[in-house]
Amino acid sequence: MQSTVQKHGVAAQMAVRPAAGTRRAFAAPAQASIARPSFAKRMQRGMTASRVESQRVVVVRAADDKVVVIGLAADSGCGKSTFMRRVTGIFGGEPKPPAGGNPDSNTLISDMTTVICLDDYHSLDRNGRKEAGVTALAPESQAFDLMYEQVKALKEGKSVQKPIYNHVTGLLDPAEEIASPKILIIEGLHPFYDDRVNELVDFRIYLDISDETKFAWKIQRDMAERGHSLESIKASIEARKPDFDAYIDPQKKKADMIIQVLPTQLVPDEKEGKILRVRLIMKDGKKLFDPVYLFDQGSTLSWIPCGRKLTCSFPGIKMFYGPDTYYGEEVSVLEMDGQFDKLEELIYMESHLSNTSAKFYGEITQQMLKNSSFPGSNNGTGLFQTIVGLKVREVYERITQKEVVPV
């Protein structure tokens, strides 16, 4: 890693310092052995990396001080912030921008989690992009070296001075200090694009909104609420598409879990994007999490829970579960088409899912109720975002061997 850093010559850009008042510890004695070889391997790797590092900064991390890095990739305007509120909500506390800092900060900090927006690593501001003739989606607009150095530093327990991309002004604002959290979530357009950054990520999530749904949502927001014309909306989508397809979309192949949002199949010609078919694609055989399943692991199932015991209003709910391949890798797919109408429908659904990583019966329902004002709370986006949040907790617990008390 050291050589990679030098090869890319980013040391000069780095803004790294040891975290305030923490972590000048030595490697902790090996913990009570748990039969998870990959975890042991990860620990070894982590400690080796720290020892190389320690030639410079003398920070050797104890195993139980590990910072877990979560990546969320998605296009702009696809509900990443709602997603993040669902995920961080599982760890408790209200995520807030850094106290007393830039009011336009994109960072959200709670007790255990810090969410940073990768737009902060734009190397070009709005004018700069205009002059250079590049979009915000292009790799040329991103400071990947700095992104790598700072994510690496945060993972090593150090604080960083992270720049701020001001979405209001389109300018790069002065940096803000970010302390190393327990769980670092990097969300944005390119969390897995740069191999060095990608390798720092412990759990990769991709939010994949279908073109039809994106279009329906954009019409809803930009036409109905902001008065844009249909033509201008189409034009703006078309303009983004080549770079999106070239740089953003391919990252989904690297993701551990993909949430796919598609038009419903329950209602013919539903064009408003309100009733959704949502698929949770989960890589199989990963050591840090177990895929959720419905009724019978490894088989293929479709399930319409609405019937004699559970009555639902039109169009009801249809679930699907089954194995599949995703870009050559084995995955499990859980799908929900339709929407919840009543609380009992949600509880019923939850009660038939296995390996959700919920810590008690009804935890998913409880989380969904807590966040019931968020968009997507009555459909598969909310359900699967909540499940992914529980998987983030599972990943954290497996890496750190610490237990998170449910809130």
Binding site for a second copy (CB under 8 A): 284, 295-310, 322-323, 330, 352
Instruction: Work out the burial of residue 121: count CB atoms within 10 Å of its CB; fewer than 13 is exposed, 13-18 middle, 19 or more buried.
Output: buried
In terms of CB distance, is 301 or 407 closer to a second copy?
Answer: 301
Cis amide bond preceding 37, omega within 30: no
In terms of CB distance, is 105 or 332 closer to a second copy?
Answer: 332
Let me know the angle formed at the C-alpha of 263 by 378 and 78, rounded to the nearest 5 degrees: 70
In terms of CB distance, is 245 or 330 closer to a second copy?
Answer: 330
In terms of CB distance, is 222 or 345 closer to a second copy?
Answer: 345
- Least distance from C-beta 290 to a second copy, angstroms? 13
- Least distance from C-beta 392 to a second copy, angstroms? 25
- Least distance from C-beta 254 to a second copy, angstroms? 23
Which residues make beta-bridge pairs with 158? 18
- Least distance from C-beta 348 to a second copy, angstroms? 9
Q: What does DSSP assign to residue 173? A: E
In terms of CB distance, is 111 or 284 closer to a second copy?
Answer: 284
Contacts of 58 (CB under 8 A, 6+ apart): 24
Cβ(188)–Cβ(143) below 8 Å: no
Contacts of 12 (CB under 8 A, 6+ apart): none
Using DSSP, state whether 105 is helix, strand or coil: coil
211, two tokens: 């073109």
Instruction: Work out the burial of residue 274: count CB atoms within 10 Å of its CB; fewer than 13 is exposed, 13-18 middle, 19 or more buried.
Output: middle
What are the phi and psi torsion angles at 82 (to 5°)? -60, -45
In terms of CB distance, is 301 or 369 closer to a second copy?
Answer: 301
- Least distance from C-beta 294 to a second copy, angstroms? 9
- Least distance from C-beta 308 to a second copy, angstroms? 3
- Rg of the Cα atoms in the chain: 22
In terms of CB distance, is 124 or 331 closer to a second copy?
Answer: 331
- Least distance from C-beta 1 to a second copy, angstroms? 36
Using DSSP, state whether 56 is helix, strand or coil: helix
383, two tokens: 């359900």
Instruction: Work out the burial of residue 75: count CB atoms within 10 Å of its CB; fewer than 13 is exposed, 13-18 middle, 19 or more buried.
Output: middle
In terms of CB distance, is 90 or 306 closer to a second copy?
Answer: 306
- Least distance from C-beta 362 to a second copy, angstroms? 18
CA distance 70 to 203: 5
